[in-house]
Each structure stands twice: as structure tokens, then as C-alpha cells.
């Protein structure tokens, strides 16, 4: 039996004070286009690179919304299938906002950016289940101290 090959994806759950950064995914995105999600993207690494997951989430957040992040910590992983039957291993990282002004950098990838509190995310019927789950996990990790 052949082992499945996975694309590796990272999601950055960025918090600034009591708010989280959500993006509305662009209409050209292959997976979950038009949905509210956390910024992130696919690992693009050469053999023998170090800190691949944290570097990927740092790069993707900067590319998508123009901000820098710090305090990047693993909080969750899951698998899903992309529209074309590609298997994806998703790694979710809790991150702290470090600087910059969150904005749309490429409308094909990101249609809009939103800062929302956890309570606003919970109350928003437009937030898909996977984004809600990541917000639940992030809020628990962020407030457990």
C-alpha cells in the first residue's frame, strides 16, 4: 500500500491584546475561497532547513497581511483534503502581533482583514467551523495562565 503524500500547511492565529486577526480568503484560493480564516500557507522549504514551520507561518502572515509576528507556538494539528483530493497536514500556531498595519496585500489571496475578539468570532455565523475550532484552541492556550 502506498503511503499518502501530504502538503504541509501552517495557520497563524495572531493575537493583539484581546483580538485575533482573521482574513477573508480570496476568490481565487483553491481551498475555502471566500471564507473567514486565519492567515497562513504552504511550507516551501529546501532539504535540511531548520525552523521550517515557524519560518513558514512568519513568511505567510507577512506576505498575506503585511504584519510581523513573534512568540510563535504550536497549538494544534489536523488533516484535511483540498478540492483536488490532495491531502493536507495543517499545523496551527498561536502568534503574538509584533508590528505593522494589517492590510490586504494581494486580493487574489486575501479579500479583507478583520480584527475580532474571541466573543465576536463565536457570535459570527459567517465564521466556518474549522476557524471556530482553531479560535477555541487558541483562546484556551492564550488565557490558561
Q: Report whether 116 contacts 22 (CB < 8 A).
A: yes
- The topology (CATH level 3) of 6-143 is Nucleoside Triphosphate Pyrophosphohydrolase (3.90.79)
User: 79 by DSSP, 3-state: which?
Assistant: strand
Specify the pTM. Answer: 0.91
Residue 32: per-residue pLDDT: 60
pLDDT tens string for the chain (145 positions)?
565 688 999 999 999 999 999 999 876 656 566 789 999 999 998 888 899 999 999 999 999 999 999 999 999 999 988 877 789 999 999 999 999 999 999 888 899 999 999 999 999 999 999 999 999 999 999 998 6
Please classify residue 45 by burial: count the beta carbons closer than 10 Å to its beta carbon, then call 0-12 exposed, 13-18 middle and 19+ buried: middle
Q: Where are the domains of the chain?
A: 6-143
Amino acid at each position: 500500500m502506498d503511503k499518502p503524500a501530504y502538503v504541509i500547511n501552517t495557520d497563524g492565529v495572531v493575537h493583539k491584546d484581546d483580538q485575533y486577526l482573521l482574513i477573508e480568503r480570496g476568490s481565487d484560493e483553491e481551498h475555502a475561497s471566500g471564507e473567514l480564516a486565519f492567515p497562513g500557507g504552504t511550507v516551501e522549504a529546501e532539504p535540511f532547513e531548520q525552523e521550517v514551520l515557524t519560518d513558514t507561518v512568519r513568511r505567510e502572515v507577512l506576505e498575506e497581511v503585511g504584519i510581523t509576528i513573534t512568540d510563535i507556538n504550536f497549538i494544534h494539528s489536523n488533516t484535511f483534503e483540498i478540492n483536488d483530493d490532495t491531502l493536507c497536514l495543517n499545523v496551527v500556531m498561536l502568534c503574538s502581533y509584533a508590528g505593522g498595519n494589517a492590510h490586504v496585500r494581494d486580493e487574489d489571496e486575501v479579500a479583507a482583514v478583520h480584527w475580532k475578539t474571541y466573543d465576536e468570532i463565536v457570535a459570527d455565523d459567517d465564521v466556518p467551523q474549522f476557524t471556530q475550532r482553531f479560535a477555541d484552541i487558541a483562546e484556551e492556550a492564550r488565557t490558561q495562565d
